[in-house]
Structure 1
Amino acid sequence: MKKFFTYNWQVRDEWFQWCQQLTHSQLVKEMDGGAGSILYTLFHIVEVENSWIRGIQGKEDSMYSFEDYATLEQVVSLSNRLREDHKRFIDIELPDLKEKIIKVTWDTIAYTCDDIIHHIIIHEIHHIGQFSIWARQLDFSPVPAHFVGRDLSF
Structure 2
Amino acid sequence: MDRRDSMIHFFKYNWQVRDEWMDRCSQLSDEILMEKRTGGPGSILYTLFHIIDVEQSWIRSIRGKEDIVYNFEDHNSLEKVKELSDRLRKEVADHLDVELKETEDRIVSVPWDEEEFTRIEILHHVIAHELHHMGQLSIWAREMDMEPVTANFIRRNLMSTDNQM
Report 1:53-68 matches (<5 A).
Answer: 53-68=59-74
1:17 equivalent to 2:20? Answer no
- The equivalent of 2:53 in structure 1 is 47
Q: Tell me how far apart the structure 2 counterparts of residues 151 and 120 of structure 1 sit (CA, whole Å).
A: 22
Share of identical aligned residues, percent? 53
- For residue 69 of structure 1, what is the amino acid of its counterpart? H
- The equivalent of 2:149 in structure 1 is 143
- The equivalent of 2:95 in structure 1 is 89
Instruction: Return the match for 1:26 from 27, 32, 51.
Output: 32
Q: Tell me how far apart the structure 1 counterparts of residues 20 and 34 of structure 2 sit (CA, whole Å).
A: 18
Q: Tell me how far apart the structure 2 counterparts of residues 34 and 84 of structure 1 sit (CA, whole Å).
A: 26
Normalised to the residue count of structure 2, the TM-score between the two structures is 0.92
Describe the superposition over 1:65-100 as per-residue Cα deviations: whole angstroms up to 9, x where unpaired: 000000000000000000011111001001213111
Dislocated runs of 4+, deviation >6 Å: none
Normalised to the residue count of structure 1, the TM-score between the two structures is 0.98
Aligned length: 154
Residue segments in structure 1 that go unaligned for 5+ positions in a row: none
Instruction: Return the match for 2:124 from 102, 118, 122.
Output: 118
- The equivalent of 2:139 in structure 1 is 133
Match of 1:62, SS state, is: coil
Q: CA deviation at 1:122?
A: 0.1
Residue segments in structure 2 that go unaligned for 5+ positions in a row: 1-6
